[in-house]
């Protein structure tokens, strides 16, 4: 584990909203918590929300009470609402505030479209489900689209809906949770089911 994550850690903020894709962030939040990062859920209010899988979550914080300086990362999962209404636009604006303050943001699946509409992908390398999905938002960043499992550029992680493990890998790299052969082994274990990777993690105390 990198020394950057063994010092005092600020919480990771996980955005939650109706129809959020609960499977997309589980790898990341589970191992962030193991590394000592508190994970705090953030909703439009503190009223309960339901994930796309039917899980009910009562947010720890309301969006209006969130300050970038109090967090180490903002995670935005996908959700049907990113594509069907403007209800989640405030979360994209909060992502802008985080990035402007130098605090990283990680967006997966439909959340990448929300950031595209906010203009946050116009000047950063990024990825998503497919390039046409983001092009439909009318954004100006098509030339920066990268065909990759996950992309990190200037504090912003992006990934498509089928890449929750790569999404977590980039978050761990960005926050210094794992690095080098340990990060590679974590990815190989959870993405490739490589049994040899477990021994590397166990030796490093990261299993």
Give, for all 207 residues of the chain, the pLDDT tens digit. 443 444 358 999 999 999 999 999 999 999 999 999 999 999 999 999 999 999 999 999 999 999 999 999 999 999 999 999 999 999 999 999 999 999 999 999 999 999 999 999 999 999 999 999 999 999 999 999 999 999 999 999 999 999 999 999 999 999 999 999 999 999 999 999 999 999 999 999 988
146 flagged as catalytic: no
Q: Token pair 């274990």 is at which residue?
A: 189
pLDDT of residue 89: 98
Say how far residue 207 (Cα) sits from the centre of its chain: 21
> Which has the closest alpha carbon to 138: 166, 117, 111, 114?
117
Q: What is the pLDDT of residue 8?
A: 57
Provide the pLDDT for residue 149: 98
Look at the pTM and tell me if it is higher than 0.75: yes
Q: What is the pLDDT of residue 50?
A: 98
Q: Where are the alpha helices (DSSP H) in the chain?
A: 26-34, 81-84, 89-100, 110-117, 131-135, 164-175, 180-192, 195-203
Q: Where are the domains of the chain?
A: 8-176, 179-207
Class of the 8-176 domain?
Answer: alpha beta
Helix axes 110-117, 89-100, angle to 10 degrees: 70
Could you say which of 35, 79, 105, 109 is catalytic? 109
Nearest one of 163, 160, 167, 162 to 130, comparing CA atoms? 160
- CA dist., res. 201 & res. 207, Å (int): 5
C-alpha closest to that of 109 among 41, 57, 184, 167: 167
């Amino acid at each position: 584990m990198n020394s950057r994550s063994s010092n005092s850690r600020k919480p990771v903020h996980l955005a939650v909203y109706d129809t959020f894709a609960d499977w997309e962030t589980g790898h990341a939040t589970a191992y962030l918590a193991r590394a000592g990062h508190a994970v705090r859920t953030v909703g439009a209010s503190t009223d309960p929300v339901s994930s796309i899988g039917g899980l009910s979550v009562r947010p720890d914080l309301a969006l209006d009470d969130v300050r970038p300086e109090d967090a180490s990362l903002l995670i935005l999962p996908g959700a049907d609402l990113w594509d069907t209404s403007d209800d989640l636009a405030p979360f994209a604006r909060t992502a802008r505030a985080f990035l402007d303050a130098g605090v990283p943001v990680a967006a997966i699946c439909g959340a990448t479209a929300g950031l595209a509409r906010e203009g946050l992908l116009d000047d950063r390398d990024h990825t998503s489900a497919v390039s046409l999905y983001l092009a439909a938002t009318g954004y100006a960043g098509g030339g920066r689209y990268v065909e990759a499992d996950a992309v990190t550029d200037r504090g912003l992680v992006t990934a498509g809906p089928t890449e929750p493990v790569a999404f977590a890998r980039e978050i761990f790299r960005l926050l210094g949770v794992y690095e080098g052969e340990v990060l590679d082994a974590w990815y190989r274990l959870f993405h490739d089911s490589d049994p040899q990777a477990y021994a590397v993690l166990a030796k490093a105390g990261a299993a």
